[in-house]
Chains A and B, each alone.
Chain A
Amino acid sequence: MPIVKLLSENFGRREARDIRWYRDHGGYEGARKCLFELTPEQVVQEVIDSNLRGLGGAGFPTGRKWTFVPQESKKPKFLVVNADEGEPGTFKDRQILTWDPHRLLEGMMICCYAVGIHTAFIYIRGEYVRPAEILKQAMADAYREGVLGPRCLGKDFTLDIFVHEGAGAYICGEESALLESLEGKKGWPRLRPPFPAIEGLFACPTVINNVETLSHLPRIVVNGGKWFAEVGSPRNGGTRLFCLSGNVKRPGVYELPMGTPLRELIYEHGGGMLDDKALKAVIPGGVSAPVLAAKEIDVPLDFDSLIKLGSMLGSGGVVAMDEDVCMVRALQVISHFFAHESCGQCTPCREGTGWLEKIVTRLVEGQAYSQDLPNLMRVAGNMIGTSICALSDAAALPVRSFLHKFNSEFEYHAQHRRCDVEERKATATPLARSAV
C-alpha cells in the first residue's frame, strides 16, 4: 500500500513548530478556506463525508458528534481537546503535540468555526511538560500573528485557546471525568444523559475531541471529505497513527491507512519480533482492548473489523508479546494498572479491579486457590456494564480474553503453582537459547 502521510510528515522536523515554516508549507490554509469560503454547515458536511471517527478510542463519527451540539444556544459553547493520553501502549498525541502543534491548533479553529465556538481548552496530562511548553509557544506565535484571537486570520471570528494541565489520573481521559477535572474536581465520570454536547463544561454545550482527530481536519477541508474517506476502509476514513511497542524490532508510531492488516504493521513496518522470536499475543488498541492470539493478526486495523473479532481498535496502541512472555504475569501488570486507576466511584469497578489484581497476583506467586480461575471469570462478569463509565469493562474484558485465549497457561499456574513459560525457558538447551 502506498505510504500516505497526512499527520506524520512533520514528525522529527523541528522547523515545523515555527509558525512561519508551517504557513509557508500550506499551514492554516484549511482554516482560511473555512473562514472565507465555506459556511459552518459545509464544513460539518465535509467532515461527515470524510468518515473521520474519534481517534481517542471510541471511534464515534466526528461530524455526527458535532451535530448534537445545538446551533442556537443562550449559553456559550466550548471545545475541549482531550490531550490526556494515558491508555497504556499509546503515544501518538505526544508526537503531534511535540512535532506539529500548529496542525492541532488549525484543526481546533476548523472545529470551532463549524460548531460556533469561541473558547477552547486543551486538557493535557501533567506529565507532558515539554509537549505543553511547545504547544504554548505555538499558541503565543499564533496569537502574535493574528491567527488566533479576536479576529482569526483577519476574519470577524474570535477564538481563544487555553492550555489546562492535568495532575495525573488515567480516568481523566474519559471525557466526562475530564470535564469534572477541568472544573477543579476529582475526576469522577458523570452519569449521562445529559451528554456533553448539551451540558458539558460548566453545564454548557461542549465538543470533546482527541488531538489526533482534530489534527486530521486541515487536510479534510483542503482536499475534501470524500478524498479522505477513500484513503481508509469503508466507514473508517483516512489514516491513523498506530503506536507499535513491545517485543518488536522497531517500535514507534506508524501512520497507515485504516484497514491495514495487523500483520503488516508488526512484520513490515515494525521489522518483526525482536531476536526473531515467535509472536504469541497482541493487544491491538491499548490495554483496554481484549488480547488477540498470534493466529488472528491478519485482521484489518479498523474499528469495525476489530469489533467483529471481539476486540477493539481503541487508541491504536498495539503491543506485541513474544513466546517468552508469561501471559499470567502480563495480565497482572494490566490488572494492577486498572486497580490503581479505578476512580472509586462505582462499587463493581472499585471492588472488582482490586479482586482481579489480587487473584491474578496469587496465580503469579504460586498461591492460587482451587476456585481462582472460575472466580476470576465471575468477578469479571460482574464488572461488565455495571458502572458509570467504561473503565470497569476495560478492566474485565482483558481478563476474559487472556483466560480464553491462553487458558493452558492459566490452568498450569492454577494447578501446578508454577509458570510453564519460565520452566520451558529454563530447560531450553544452551544452543537453542543462544539462537533466540
Chain B
Amino acid sequence: MQKSLRIDANKCTGCLQCEMACSYENYGVFNIAKSRIKVFIFEHEGRKVPYTCTQCAEAWCLNACPVDAIRVDAATGAKVVNEATCVGCKVCTIACPFGTVNYVADTGKVQKCDLCGGDPACAAACPTGAITYIDADWTGLDKMRAWAGKTDTATRASA
C-alpha cells in the first residue's frame, strides 16, 4: 500500500515543529531555512497552512530535469532528487507549478520532499495531527466519514 502526506490546515497551530524535524532529518541541524515543508501564516485571516510537495503522479519536475536527477522511489512513490546527479540548473524549480522544489545555495543542488523514505519526520513531529501519513488511495476518507456522519438516518431508526 502506498501512503501519502495528508495536510489538514485547520489543525495547524503554526508551531513549526514539522520544519525543524524536516531539516534535522535531512541536514542534521534544526534549521527551518532548510525545511522542505513550509508553514504559511496568514495573519489577517488567522490561518496557518503547511505546504509541501504532493508527489504528482506525472511529475513536472521529473520530466523537466535534463540529467534525470529526479527519480521515482518505487516503494513510496516519492519523486526523489539524486544529489550526485543534480547539476543545480533549477529547471525543475520553474517546472513545478506549486513551488515545492527549491534550490539550496549551500549545496548547489535542488531539494524537495522525499517522504523520508516512507517515514516522514514532519508527520511524526506534528503535535496536532495536522500532518499525517496515510493510505494514498484514501486521503478523502476522513472527509467522507464526516459527511457520512451527517447523513439523516432518522427515518430508518423510526421505522
Asked if chains A and B come from one complex, the reply is: no
Chain B residues at the A interface, C-beta cutoff of 8 Å: none
